[in-house]
Structures are given as C-alpha cells and as structure tokens.
Amino acid sequence: MPNILSIKNFFVLSLIIALSGCVSSSIDPSRYEKESSYTIINAEPTRLDELFKREVSSHSLTEETGFYPLDKGHDALLARLAIIETAQSSIDVQYYIFRDDEAGNLIGWRLFEAAERGVRVRLLLDDMQKYDDQDLVRFSSHPNIEVRMFNPHHLRSARSISMLSDFERLNHRMHNKSLTVDGIVSIIGGRNVGNEYYSIESNVEFADLDLLMVGKSVRQVNRQFDLYWNSDYSIPIEWITPIEEHYTDADVDKWVQELDLEAKFSGGTYDFAKLPLYNDLINGTVKLYWGIGELLYDLPDKPDSKQSTLIDSLNSVLEDSETSLVFISPYFVPTEQGTKELIAAVQQGLEVIIITNSLASNDVFAVHGWYAKYREDLVEGGVQLWEVKSNAEIKKNWSLTGSSRSSLHTKAMIIDKQKVFVGSMNLDPRSAHLNTEMGVVIEQPEYAQKVYRNLIDEIPKTAYEMKMEDGDLVWFDHTTGETLTSEPEASIWRRMGAWFSGILPIEEQL
C-alpha cells in the first residue's frame, strides 16, 4: 500500500514547483521601461516655505530638524491632508498599509486633486495588504501619478499560494512609513493609512505617534524615498496588471459623493475646522521643537543583505546611554539575547522602562505568546515592565462610538531624557531581520523630558505594572489597587492562542 503522506507531499511539492514557474514568468520586466525619478528641488520658495518661515528663520536647516509631535489621531490625519492640499510640486507617499476606508479614501482623493493641479505624486506601497489592482492601475494612469509596489506577490488572486511558493522572498516586507510634500515637509512615524490610526470610527483604535518635520531630516527622508523608489524591489503597477480604463474627473466626483467624503469631513463630528491644529497650519503658526536629528533606515536590499543598517546605527546610540532608557513598542519580543542585554543595562545602573501591549490589547496574540516567555526574567532583572490596558483612554477630540478597545501602536524610545527615537520599528525579530524600517533620532531635551514626565504620570493609569510576588508574575493595577494573577481582560481563547503560539518555533517570524 503506498504511503499516503508521501503522495500528498509529492503533490504539494509539485504544485509549489509549478507555481514557482508561474511566479517567475508572471511579471515581464521588458513590458515597460522603468524610469528613475528623484526628489524635485524647488527653485523658488513654496507655500510650505512661507507657512514655516517664522519657525525656520531662526534655525539652521542644514544642521537642525524642526518637528511637531502628532500624538492624536485626528491631528495626524489633518496634518497629512493639510500638507497635501498645500503641495505645489511633488508628493511622495510610502506606506506598509493603505486601507480602502474613510481615511484611505480621503487621502487618496486629496492626492488625486493635487495631481490635477499639476503636482507629481509618487505612491510606493508594500504589497502585503491585498489591494484592488485595477483601482491602483487606474490611479496610476493619471499623467501626474505613478504607483509602485514593493516586493509584490506574483499570484495576485491567490496570495496564500503565492506565499507558499515564494515564501523566502515574500516574507520580507517594507514597513517604512513616510509622506513628504515639495521635498520640504515630511511626516514619519508609526501610523499607516486606515481609520484605526486616525480616531475615525473602527473596532479598535491605535495609540500612535508621528512627527511632522522640516529641516535636515527631511532631506534624508527624500534620499531614503528615492532609494526605495528606484530600487529593483519597487515594481510599477503597470507591470502587474494591464490598464483597462482610466479615472476621469466625473468618476472621482461621483466616488466622492457616494462616499460622502466632503460632507463628512467639513461638518459635524469630524469637522476639521474645529481642531486646534487646523488654524495653526493654515496660518503658519505651528510651534516646532528644534534639535539635531538623524534619519536611520534600512536599505531596500535588506532581504538579500540580511543586514539592518537601522539597527546598527541605533545600537551605537543606545550604547552611549548613561542614565535611562524607555522603550515603547506594541510588539515586543526581546529574544533571549535581548533580555540579557536589558538586564545587563539595569545592572550597570540604568533605569530601563518597557511599555508594551497586554494580551487583551495586542492585536497579534502570537507575538504575546513569545514575549511572555521573557517577562519573569525581565522583571526579576530589575526592568520596569508595563502592559497597556485594552480599555486605556486615548486622547482625542473625535467620538469613537464603534471602538471597542484601544491598542498601543507607538514605536518610540526616550534616551537619557535627552533624545527621542520615533519610527516604524518594533522591538521584535521581524523588524530586526525581515522587514525594512525607518525612524529618526533627535536630540531635544525639552521634548524628551516632557514626554518622560507625561509617561511617568500617565502610565500607572493606563497600564498594568508587572511584578513578582511569592515567585509568581502578577499584574498590579494602580488605579484600583488590585493585584491580578492572570492575563487581565483576555478571554480564555486568547490565552490559549497565545500559549500555543509560544510553543511553536516561530519566534524569528514575529
């Protein structure tokens, strides 16, 4: 009798081999000529120059970076829309996720309007999220818009099979997040494009942080974008799917009316004019922090080189720390080596604080399953470990009637209360080895100390402190004085899922 398992494996292997052949032939680079393009340097001052002139006049753009922290979802969306609407020459957009929801549609609409004004729009998206290729290619058919996909799936309607047939390549993703207008103003940080990042009604709301920047770091963002845009990993959407029809002004007008975009964001709950940042932006009165900044980023060939230039650069910054390190990461998997290094830092006299998600607030319970393996060692080693509650209140102006829970999504560090790091990088193996990431380190004591003080004041209200009592790990709630002995607010199914994930050999994928 034949071995059924062997026969099954043979057919699976045959399928993979066959699909691999389909993959290699599905995109023909000779179909189109891929043209390189670069940041547009404006010969004359732009409107954005004028809006930030008051702040820029007393600072050196050559050496300094000016920034405004976007720690509220509504401000983060408004800032993006405001600089897009002010664009005169170019808009460069780079995201891991760009959802087809109110936030995504609103930004997409404003990008199209900018293109209609003659602004060049370059849109670079990672291809992990499933997009409608026809929508993208129609968008890209505008003479002033070009869309490229980073490391795209070749089997567009069978992504699971595509991953199975080409896992080694497709497992590497572009996690970078940036939006730059006229080469002058950039927004980078942890937010993707989707309702949950911008305080628009959704089942979960992410607490996140971006920086709106001018000055030296923006020029570095420009170089970073050009490097990714012109890399071999960035594929024009026209190579992936043929154009069947083009967008017209009438199509866009009908689409906007059907989605009620203009009405929804010009009155009522989501009225931009009622938000404080709105008037500051349009009047050029935004007050910036200024400091010495440096953009850190992985190279687009990280999937091949296996080297994280961001990690290498950041390690040199962290090694120079003298008094304290605060790490904020939604997905925290320190690994055995990382755990030893954090404990060693405490033993050397540093205050080490880690803020991450609880199981209930974590949207990826598999990550929690592996992180949980290191909690006891960290707490016993003197690391101050906090887990954010799923019902933590997020500062906002907009209502969230559909949001049932909150989740930490900020990726940031405070170093010696003197420097801050804000970016896309989680503290986990995937960010270190598999995804490309970016972030900025800025030396700005006033802001760093302000954020540190706010965290020390607020974190006992919004998170559980992890402690050891009688040899067991417990969760202490400072607001109620209660000590909990099991994962708070988490269902038995989430606990079981996290536990099971923790016994699987998947740590390097998380």
- The beta strand positions in 29-112, using DSSP E, are 65-70, 90-95
**Is 182 designated active site?**
yes
Q: Choose, from 72, 74, 216, 411, the residue flagged as catalytic.
A: 411
Q: Which of 182, 208, 210, 298 is catalytic?
A: 182
Encoded tokens for 402:
């559909």
**What dihedral do alpha carbons 330, 336, 339, 345 form, nearest 10°?**
-140
Query: Which residues sit opposite 215 in a β-bridge?
Result: 65
Q: Which residues contact 324 (CB under 8 A, 6 or more apart)?
A: 350, 351, 352, 353, 414, 415, 416, 417, 452
Question: From the candidates 175, 302, 368, 419, which is the catalytic residue?
Answer: 175
How far the first Cα of the chain sits from its last, in Å, is: 41
DSSP annotation string for 291-339: EEEEEEE--TTHHHH---HHHHHHHHHHHT--SEEEEE-SSB--HHHHH
Other Cβ atoms closer than 10 A to 38: 15
CA–CA gap between residue 439 and residue 329 (Å, rounded)? 13
Partners of residue 328 on adjacent β-strands: 355, 412
Task: Take residue 99 and report the two structure tokens written for it.
Answer: 């959802």
**Catalytic residue flag (residue 177):** yes
Q: How far apart are CA 332 and CA 173, in angstroms?
A: 18
Query: Has 411 been annotated as catalytic?
Result: yes
* 195 Cβ contact partners less than 8 Å away, ≥ 6 residues apart: 99, 101, 102, 103, 201, 202
> Catalytic: 416?
yes
- For residue 193, give the DSSP letter: B
Q: Which of 177, 302, 389, 419 is catalytic?
A: 177
Which residue numbers are catalytic?
175, 177, 182, 409, 411, 416
